[in-house]
Amino acid sequence: MDKLKLTIALALVAAGVVGFYYFPDQSLLMRVLGLLAAAGIALAVAYQTAVGQRTWGFVTGAQTEIKKVVWPTRKEALQTTGIVVVMVLIVALFLWGLDSILLWLVRLLTGQGE
């Protein structure tokens, strides 16, 4: 029975997408609302399955874990971003220099550097 419910949910989503593109002369708002309604009904049908119940349990568990995370302050985020930008620039300059040296060596070895 779960496979049938999931197939119905998938068919509802597909019907919503097809309907969105099948009625281009209708207003965008109405087409988006129809698509969202189809997706909502599909989620409600999928929730009735064992897979849907496990997925919902995973989502609620993930939300609980996200609440436990200690997020960095604005100052810490800016400092970390600054360090990353500086390191990227340093590595870029190093690679540019290495590439220039290797290009010079290849031109010298092939006789094109004259």
The pLDDT value recorded for residue 112 is 86
> What is the tally of structural domains in the chain?
2
Asked if residue 92 and residue 54 are part of one domain, the reply reads no
Which pTM does this prediction carry? 0.56
37 and 88 belong to one structural domain = no
Tell me: do 51 and 26 sit in the same domain.
yes
Tell me: do 84 and 105 sit in the same domain. Answer: yes
Asked whether 113 and 107 are in contact (CB, 8 A), the reply is yes
How does pLDDT run along the chain (114 residues), one tens digit per residue? 889 999 999 999 999 999 999 999 999 999 999 999 999 999 999 999 999 999 999 999 999 999 999 999 999 999 999 999 999 999 999 999 999 999 999 999 998 866
In a shared domain, residues 76 and 114: yes
On whether both 80 and 36 belong to a single domain, the answer is no
CB-CB contact of 22 with 58 (8 Å): no
**What contacts 23, CB < 8 A, 6 or more positions away?**
30, 31
- Residues 37, 84 within the same domain: no
